[in-house]
Amino acid sequence: MEETGMNEIERADVEGNSNSEGHADVIAENERLLREFLAQGDTDAPIIETDLPREHRSGFVAVIGKPNVGKSTLMNVYLGEKVAIATPKPQTTRENQLGILTRPDAQIIFVDTPGIHEARNKLGEYMVEVAAGTIPDADVVLFIVDVSEMPTRADEIIAGMIAEQARGPVILALNKCDLVGEAEASVHSAAYQALLPTAEPILLSATRGDNRERLLEMLIERLPYGPRYYPAEQLTQTQIRDNAAELIREQVLLMYEQEVPHAVAVKVTEFKERSPDLTYIAATIFVERDSQKRILIGSKGSALRELGRRARAELEAMLGTRVYLDLWVKVLKNWRKDESALRRLGYWQPQ
């Protein structure tokens, strides 16, 4: 495996409650599902007991759909901050990403999943398995589709998974209605509803805002009664260093074309607060071929410096400090097809 870093002149950056007694069984079941989910990430967060309204609702919403239909965009809008990376390129999300929205009357735990697609390698198989695995344990399944186009074979497959595995209510969010006329939206909507007749449909524009608040109310109304599982100020379960890796990968997706993005993985190797106003982050960008490494680095390191500049701006906004970002590029040949490499990069869980 080869690696390339930047010397000090070329380096890519400097500075840079309690509830009513009648809900006891429901709450116990929610706690069981929560602990099962947390166990997947080797995290054991305590149930947060607070003085809550008698009718407080809480639970998991599995956000399901094929790549690039707006799943991450919708969750980020609801949370008011970027928790999941979102780009115009499909298959941006690779892991389940937790987004926690807390209101006085409810706590919604969104599980933003990788887009379900036809897997062409071990990484693709992992992503599909991760997404599909959220369906049976979700309190509500939110199936997001692109209503600006007719359903594809991928939508049919996802609808079949949901019909077979979902144990709770299903909402069909017909997203991107701002991109299509009313008559065409009606035809497309009917085609999607035919795939999953039991789902409750709603036209939506995650970006423009059409029916966004109504969808949120629909989700809350279908959650079971339960406690808060996380402190009100917590937005995600993901570790900060994992978010840092995702923000760097997001910039790769935005900067480069098809020859690089999906062959890239990012791992943060060091994360230190050197002072109240300076965070040091060292990260390795893995690619599959020498040609991809050369593209990422660019002439005399120019591309890597620009990538570092863009990533550092996002990291500083997230952390609220200046960031010294130390980027390296390594070739890990055909890592998306190699189970041992996937495990090393944190993408593969033993069965």
> Domain spanning 21-222 has what CATH number?
3.40.50.300
Domain limits, CATH 3.40.50.300, in the chain: 21-222
- DSSP H helices in the chain: 24-40, 71-79, 122-132, 153-165, 182-195, 212-222, 240-255, 290-297, 302-319, 339-344
The tokens describing 279, both together, are 């965070």
Tell me: the pLDDT tens digits for 182-219? 999 999 999 999 999 999 999 999 999 999 999 999 99
pLDDT at residue 218, rounded to an integer: 97
Report the candidate in 89, 73, 67 with the shortest Cα–Cα distance to residue 257: 89
- Give the model's pLDDT for residue 47: 53
Q: Which residues contact 322 (CB under 8 A, 6 or more apart)?
A: 15, 16, 277, 278, 279, 316
Say if CB 93 and CB 43 are below 8 A apart. no
CA distance readout (Å), 104 to 107, 193, 211, 213, 229:
8, 33, 21, 16, 13
Angle between helices 240-255 and 302-319 (to 10 degrees): 140
Over the chain (351 residues), the average pLDDT of each successive run of 10 is: 42 36 49 52 48 86 88 86 50 59 93 59 50 79 96 91 91 97 96 97 96 97 90 70 80 72 77 84 86 86 91 85 89 67 54 43
Q: What is the pLDDT of residue 45?
A: 47
Q: Report how far apart, in Å, the C-alpha atoms of 250 and of each of 174, 210, 307, 334 are.
A: 26, 27, 10, 21
State both tokens at 35: 């602990």
* CA nearest to 53, candidates 89, 92, 105, 14: 105
CB 201 within 8 A of CB 172: yes
Contact 283, 245 (CB under 8 A): yes
Instruction: Write phi, then psi, for 128 (nearest 5 degrees).
Output: -65, -40
Predicted local confidence at residue 351, as pLDDT: 43
Q: Contact at 8 Å (CB) between 351 and 41? A: no
Angle at alpha carbon of residue 182, lines to 178 and 185, rounded to 5°: 75
**What's the confidence (pLDDT) of residue 208?**
95
Largest CA distance in the chain: 67
| Distance in angstroms (rounded) separating the CA atoms of residues 326 and 16 | 10
Q: For residue 343, what pLDDT is reported?
A: 61
What single string gives the DSSP state of each residue in 24-47?
HHHHHHHHHHHHHHHHHTT--PPP
Return the CATH architecture of domain 2-14+237-344: 2-Layer Sandwich (3.30)
Q: What is the pLDDT of residue 214?
A: 97
> d(Cα 56, Cα 106) in Å, to the nearest integer?
5
CATH 3.30.300.20 domain locations along the chain: 2-14+237-344
Distance, CA of 292 to CA of 299 (rounded, Å): 13
Q: What is the pLDDT of residue 318?
A: 77
pLDDT at residue 277, rounded to an integer: 86
What whole-number distance in Å separates Cα of residue 83 and Cα of residue 74?
Answer: 11
